Structure 1
Amino acid sequence: MNIGQLIKLERQRQNMKQEYLASGICVPSYLSRIENGLVIPSEDIQQHLLKRLNVPLDALNNDGDEAKLSYFKAFFKTVINSRNKLKANSLFQDIRTYIEEHPFEPKRLTLLLMETRLMLMLPNYLNQVQANVIILEEFKKEMDTEQLFYFFSIQGIIAYQNNQFREASELLTQIFTLIKSYRMEDWEMAELYYISSLAVLSESRYILAIDYVKSALSYFNQEILIERSIECLIILGIAQKHTGVINESVLTFEKAKDISSKIESSKFKRKIEHNLGACHSLLKNHEQALLHFQNSLSENTNPEENLLTILNILKEYHKISDIENAIVWLNRGFKLLNLLPEKTRTFYSSHLEVYQAILLDKHDLLSTFKKILKYFELKQEYKYCSVYSYVLAQKLAEEKQYKQATIYFDLGFKYYLKQLNITSWEELL
């Protein structure tokens, strides 16, 4: 990076306006030209700018500490591979200290990228990520291929964490295009495949998710990164389940369970047991499904995850017409609602109210379902709109309200088309 870029980067890091830095030294337009590399400032102006930035005058003579940078890169690889938050925090603090002591380090942009990537692993610093991203965006044109790799990865992870799955997928796809003629290291590619598998899985692109996660799994197995391998097996099992190869999915989750048991880790047990329950439910192995769901519940103290499992147990008992147990689990679900944050409480209460209306034969069935359908339509959750319209239509037909039943059968099909993003029946052919 040249002198102007380093001045700009340090000014932005300090959240300092151009007008303030330039005040009494030069006009802001001249500072802008310096920062954009259009002019080289005189030694006198350089010194005044450095003093205003509280940067030592000899900072410009710093050629960087190559040994330190090599150490950072090696440690960064270990942190990303292991996902160890304690190590991530240690490296983050080391990089911050180094940047403060070497504000004009020539590899400053790479260090900023590493710092930002580590922030994504550390909850205490997540609110600072966007400020770094804004700075990085300013230097996008100056980035080399490796730096762009990390920048797009950071943006993809942020989009994924914000549930913007399509945007995340598009950003990560850009990386694959970017590096077609550039060789990234195997661990970097494994991380890209892993993140990409999560993004496309969330978009319901299950075949691509399988391809990506298998590539990541191959590296993690080779490097004996056991927990990362288990994470990949869970993603693989979920994708297999959604593509209809349920028996393969069961084998994948059983493998993940076996590995977890061998390393005596309970970290993934809840997720593995829950997904085994879902698989056996699809296979109509109801007793096994209930056993796995309850195993999942016993391993978990998170109210939202508990409620998700309770909903699945409730569904399973309703499937086998065990109304007594279904009502028991319905009541357990309602008791947990108050422990949920407001933004997710309505989502779960809506599902529970459906079963309450069905199981307790509520007379206000129609108004209950109308309220629930309105909620899911506003959320654009057309899958639930479609299913619950069909459920309501069936209940209305049972009560011989055929005209109303017809309306909701038709509405359910329209929601189904919306779910598939289909605008005309010809697209179904």
Structure 2
Amino acid sequence: MIEIGSFIKLQRTKREMTQGQLAKGIVSLSYLSKIENKKTEASSEIIQLLCTRLGIQLKDGFDANIQKKCKEWYNMLFEVNDKEEIISTYKELQAVMDENLTDSLLMFEIHKIRYYLIIGKYNEALTKISDLNEMSGSFDNLHQYYWYKFRGNYNSANGDFEQAIILYKSAEERLNQIEVEEKEIADLQYIISITHSKLRNTLESIEYAEKALDIYMKEYYFMRCAQCHIVLGISYRRIKMYDKAIKNYNLARHLGELNKDKQVIQLTNLNLGYLHSARGGSKEAIHNYLEVVNDLEVDLNARLTSLTALIKEYYTINNVEKTKQMIEKGFELFEQININNNDTYRIHYYVLKTYNYAINKSNSKFENLVINELIPYLKEHKDYANLVVYANMLGNHFEELSKYKDSVKYYKLANITYDELVNL
């Protein structure tokens, strides 16, 4: 149960009331501050008066209807299907929570972190984390589990995978002290696997993906099985166990086809493209990338990711005409996006402009973009794999211009970054 002082503070700030406005005629300002900061226990009469001013009804104990509605909403957040329904249900629940003090309130507040991330309101998620941090000391083990997990989600969404894995491991430590469904355990294992994959901790990624896969297979949760197979495919590709990688990709694609899930099918094609490219199979890689690029049912980010991979492939094999065609197609897709307000697509935009300048021999524009924008962006986001690619590209560019001092500088950056990547 949420502490009454923390609850009052939460509701007061939500209503944008000052302590003075809430306390006036009921208690002194200093006494309200002590109540909110859990430094004193107020009488039930004072609590009732404060809650009345806030427009809240005090309810004792367990409310089955509210808990049932909350659980339905939590499941929506887990599945992430219909965002409109998620938002609509949230508004209904928020109206109830604003008028009642119930046992479900604290868990609802913690799940708001996940909710804000799903609807893309990262600043609101951070504000909610900050608000809840003050009362986190009173969380029980179940509250702590979701508190750590959703904060991990926030850090992962912002690219801080090192901090995310610390938080996910803290959530994992709570599993022995709480009772949750098997699918919840598998979900945590899956996101730990994904995070290890982002950090290129390949063996750890395999370990957690296999744990999650075991549960999803028992639960007949085939879409998550497919996602685990994709993670395993990526991991085996990185350690050059290509046959195992292809086997996992094919299993993922088969499950995607059974469920008519285009996102899974095309994510598999994208990763098969990466695999064939790594093995020098440009023809096969191009085929897989085109499957994704030409599928209008796949989300824009997936299509752009495949398109930039396709541009790199055509450029590598010196197919100038096709490189130019794909760059033009990329800029057409970007007409749907306001790049200034959406960092999700910024890397793709940089890549398009980089290859556009390179293929058209716009040397000064190429150098300015890669040196002053792309490389700093990759460093900031710790995107070491792409940093190696574009530092090498820049080194090769300067070498062709006989600017050997600059060439050595960027080849050295590529080598140092590669060493960091290997040691991650």
1:241 aligns with 2:237: yes
Q: Determine which of 221, 225, 232 is the counterpart of 2:228.
A: 232
**Are 1:274 and 1:292, in contact at CA under 8 Å, matched by a contact in 2?**
yes
Q: Distance in 2 between matches of 1:285 and 1:419?
A: 23
**Are 2:111 and 2:150, in contact at CA under 8 Å, matched by a contact in 1?**
no
1:319 aligns with 2:319: no
Q: Counterpart of 2:278?
A: 282
Considering only CA atoms, is the larger Rg found in Structure 1 or Structure 2? 1
Match of 2:262, SS? coil
Q: CA deviation at 1:146?
A: 0.9
The residue type paired with residue 16 of structure 1 is M
The residue type paired with residue 409 of structure 1 is V
Q: Distance in 2 between matches of 1:395 and 1:111?
A: 55
Match of 2:263, SS? coil
Q: Counterpart of 1:22?
A: 23
1:351 aligns with 2:351: yes
Q: Distance in 1 between matches of 2:364 and 2:371?
A: 10
Q: Distance in 1 between matches of 2:6 and 2:406?
A: 64
* Matched positions, count: 413
Q: Distance in 2 between matches of 1:132 and 1:393?
A: 45
Change (3 A) 1:16 1:225: farther
**Are 1:337 and 1:348, in contact at CA under 8 Å, matched by a contact in 2?**
no
1:263 aligns with 2:259: yes
Match of 2:62, SS? coil
Q: Determine which of 375, 389, 392 is the counterpart of 1:390.
A: 392
Q: CA-to-partner distance for each residue in 1:16-66, whole Å, 9 max, x for gaps? A: 33232112222222122233444332454334323221224xx25x2222x
1:145 aligns with 2:147: no
Match of 1:248, SS? helix
1:215 aligns with 2:215: no
**Are 2:193 and 2:205, in contact at CA under 8 Å, matched by a contact in 1?**
yes
Q: Counterpart of 2:93?
A: 95
The residue type paired with residue 120 of structure 1 is L
Q: Determine which of 300, 303, 307 is the counterpart of 1:306.
A: 303
Q: Counterpart of 1:376?
A: 374
The residue type paired with residue 319 of structure 2 is D
- Segments of structure 1 that go 5 or more residues without pairing to the other structure are none
Q: CA-to-partner distance for each residue in 1:132-184, whole Å, 9 max, x for gaps? A: 33332121011011101111111111112222222222221222344455555
**Are 1:389 and 1:408, in contact at CA under 8 Å, matched by a contact in 2?**
no
Change (3 A) 1:44 1:114: same
The residue type paired with residue 279 of structure 2 is L
The residue type paired with residue 161 of structure 1 is A
Q: Counterpart of 2:76?
A: 79
Match of 1:63, SS? coil
Change (3 A) 1:230 1:384: closer
Change (3 A) 1:405 1:137: same
- Segments of structure 2 that go 5 or more residues without pairing to the other structure are none
**Are 2:292 and 2:302, in contact at CA under 8 Å, matched by a contact in 1?**
no
Match of 1:232, SS? helix
Q: Distance in 2 between matches of 1:242 and 1:136?
A: 39
The residue type paired with residue 414 of structure 1 is L
Q: Distance in 1 between matches of 2:264 and 2:271?
A: 11
Q: Counterpart of 1:108?
A: 105
Question: Normalising by structure 2, what TM-score?
Answer: 0.83
Q: Distance in 1 between matches of 2:391 and 2:111?
A: 49
Match of 1:46, SS? helix
Q: Distance in 2 between matches of 1:140 and 1:326?
A: 53
Match of 1:314, SS? helix
Change (3 A) 1:370 1:136: closer
**Are 2:113 and 2:151, in contact at CA under 8 Å, matched by a contact in 1?**
no
The residue type paired with residue 329 of structure 2 is R
Change (3 A) 1:223 1:90: farther
Q: CA deviation at 1:291?
A: 1.4
Q: Distance in 2 between matches of 1:269 and 1:19?
A: 58
Q: CA deviation at 1:281?
A: 1.7
Change (3 A) 1:139 1:357: closer
The residue type paired with residue 48 of structure 1 is L
Q: Distance in 1 between matches of 2:262 and 2:170?
A: 36
Identity %: 21
Q: Distance in 2 between matches of 1:391 and 1:144?
A: 52
**Are 2:141 and 2:177, in contact at CA under 8 Å, matched by a contact in 1?**
no
Q: CA deviation at 1:208?
A: 1.7
Change (3 A) 1:282 1:365: same
The residue type paired with residue 133 of structure 2 is E
